[in-house]
């Protein structure tokens, strides 16, 4: 994983000699990282590290890999479901990916978002503000706060990645950590055969100690421009476009646009959580102008990081793809899981 970023910066990194050496170092570091993770587990499992109860029920949404599973749209879906149940949810996020924080606040107008490393403190703040349930964004590793429902997201196209821990791979915890989940949700299943989806579902259920597994897909619903005006989902059909994104899985973003019949002529891919600079905007503008590209498609997450820059040269070209999570199998299982939280807690 990190090797991809480091190779161009290392002497000999492009000819395959040095990356092999670096890979060995990263694999060694991954064993050290895994040992540290297991020490943390031991602390919680033995009671040395205390798990604290929040004043309101907590529903956690997370994964055991680095990014790319659709946590943010899933948090939005769950917050929407809870609201439809007559609940008053709050979203608790650590604020590491500030772009996601801004996106959540933009999209969840009626649901307050509490940002901070101390999410137990955030839960008490939400309770004080009259909220009656907390949705813990990216909370699978945050064992300090007790959760009433632990939802694990799994990318159906990449399941658990390379199987290696960071920094050699993309696992944040060993695969065995999946057994802590109360419910798993497969994401990004569009384009996969029903046979493949069922195969992955059975595998994930086994890894999660037989817990139920729902199936979802990312569904494009509309586009909007830089001013917030909405356009129909066929707005890019047959149109020559450039793709701009700094997300964990840019190729999946391209896959969605191709499925919408867009003609991708240029892609500007940046690292996940990339902080855009004016030089990035200028380069995108210049290269698109040179190629005669009049439409630039990006994500909501990326747009929030560009807003503080001078975008006048591309403002009229920008379209943001709006995507939502749709549960295609097991929606009743997800709803039953959410309802069980309030049955157990009596709230």
Question: The domain spanning residue 230 has which CATH number?
Answer: 3.40.50
Rounded to whole angstroms, the Cα distance separating 333 from 232 reads 32
Q: Are residues 198 and 74 in the same domain?
A: yes
Residue 7: pLDDT band by 50, 70, 90 thresholds? very low
Higher pLDDT, 205 or 66: 205
The residue assigned the tokens 């019949």 is: 261
| Residue 53 is assigned to a structural domain of this protein | no
- Confidence band of 316 (pLDDT split at 50, 70, 90): very high
Residue 284 sits in the same domain as residue 243: yes
Q: Which residue has the higher pLDDT, 64 or 108?
A: 64
Residue 277 lies in a domain: yes
Answer yes or no: are the C-beta atoms of 44 and 59 closer than 8 Å. no
Q: What span, in angstroms and rounded, lies between the C-alpha atoms of 202 and 207?
A: 9
Q: What is the count of structural domains for the chain?
A: 3
250 plus 285 within the same structural domain: yes
CA 264/CA 258 separation, integer angstroms? 8
* In-domain check, residue 165: yes
172 in the same domain as 151: yes
Same domain, 245 and 118: no
Whether 316 maps to a domain, the answer reads yes
Residues 168 and 309 placed together within one structural domain of the fold? no
At residue 96, the pLDDT reads 63
Task: Identify whether residues 78 and 204 lie together within a single domain.
Answer: yes
Same domain, 96 and 116: yes
What pTM did the predictor assign? 0.89
Q: Which domain holds residue 183?
A: 58-212+330-345
Examine residue 267 and state whether it is found in any structural domain, yes or no: yes
Asked if the structure places residue 13 within a domain, the reply is: yes
Structure confidence by residue, pLDDT tens digits, 236-294: 999 999 999 999 899 999 999 999 999 999 999 999 889 999 999 999 999 999 999 99
The H-or-E segment that residue 128 falls in is helix 119-128
Query: 44 to each of 124, 152, 164, 199, 252, how far by Cα in Å?
Result: 22, 19, 23, 33, 36
Is residue 99 domain-shared with residue 6, that is, in the same domain?
A: no
Q: 208 and 72 in one domain?
A: yes
pLDDT (tens digit per residue) in 127-158: 999 999 999 999 999 999 999 999 999 999 99
For the chain, list the strands marked E by DSSP.
Answer: 58-62, 89-93, 113-115, 133-137, 149-155, 183-187, 213-225, 230-231, 240-245, 263-269, 296-299, 318-329
**Could you tell me the two tokens for 125?**
């703040």
Statement to judge: residues 320 and 294 lie in one domain: yes
**Beta carbons of 318 and 298 less than 8 angstroms apart:** yes
Claim to verify: residue 192 and residue 302 sit in the same structural domain: no
Domain at 198, CATH number: 3.40.50.300
- Please report the pLDDT score of residue 5 as a whole number: 42
- 52 lies in some domain: no
Is 236 part of a structural domain of the chain?
A: yes
* Confidence band of 67 (pLDDT split at 50, 70, 90): confident
Q: What local confidence, expressed as pLDDT, does residue 345 receive?
A: 76
Q: Which residues of 287-319 are buried (b: 16+ CB within 10 A; e: fewer)?
A: ebeeeebebbbbbbbbbbbbeeeebeebeebbb
């Amino acid at each position: 994983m990190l090797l991809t970023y480091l190779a161009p910066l290392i002497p000999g990194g492009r000819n395959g000699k040095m990356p092999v050496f670096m890979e060995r170092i990263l694999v060694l570091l991954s064993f050290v990282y895994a040992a540290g993770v297991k020490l943390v587990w031991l602390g919680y499992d033995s009671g040395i590290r205390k798990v604290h109860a929040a004043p309101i029920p907590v529903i956690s949404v997370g994964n055991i890999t680095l990014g790319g599973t659709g946590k943010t749209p899933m948090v939005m879906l769950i917050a929407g479901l809870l609201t439809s149940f007559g609940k008053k949810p709050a979203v608790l996020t650590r604020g590491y990916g500030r772009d996601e924080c801004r996106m959540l606040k933009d999209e969840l107008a009626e649901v307050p978002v509490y940002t901070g490393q101390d999410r137990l403190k955030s839960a008490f703040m939400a309770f004080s503000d009259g909220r009656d349930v907390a949705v813990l964004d990216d909370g699978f590793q945050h064992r300090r706060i007790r959760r009433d429902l632990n939802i694990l997201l799994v990318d159906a196209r990449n399941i658990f990645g390379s199987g290696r821990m960071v920094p050699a791979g993309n696992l944040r915890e060993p695969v065995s950590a999946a057994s802590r989940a109360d419910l798993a949700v497969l994401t990004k299943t569009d384009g996969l055969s029903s046979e493949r989806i069922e195969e992955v579902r059975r595998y994930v259920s086994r890894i999660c100690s037989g817990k139920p597994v729902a199936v979802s897909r990312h569904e494009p619903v509309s586009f909007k421009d830089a001013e917030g005006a909405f356009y129909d989902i066929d707005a890019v059909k047959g149109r020559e476009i450039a793709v701009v994104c700094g997300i964990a899985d840019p190729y999946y973003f391209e896959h969605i646009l191709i499925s919408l019949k867009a003609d991708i002529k240029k892609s500007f891919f940046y690292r996940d959580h990339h902080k855009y600079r004016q030089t990035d905007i200028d380069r995108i503008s210049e290269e698109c102008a040179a190629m005669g590209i009049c439409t630039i498609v990006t994500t909501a997450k990326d747009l929030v990081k560009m807003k503080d820059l001078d975008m006048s040269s591309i403002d009229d070209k920008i379209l943001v793809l709006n995507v939502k999570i749709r549960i295609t199998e097991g929606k009743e299982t997800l709803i039953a899981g959410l309802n069980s939280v309030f049955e157990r807690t009596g709230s």
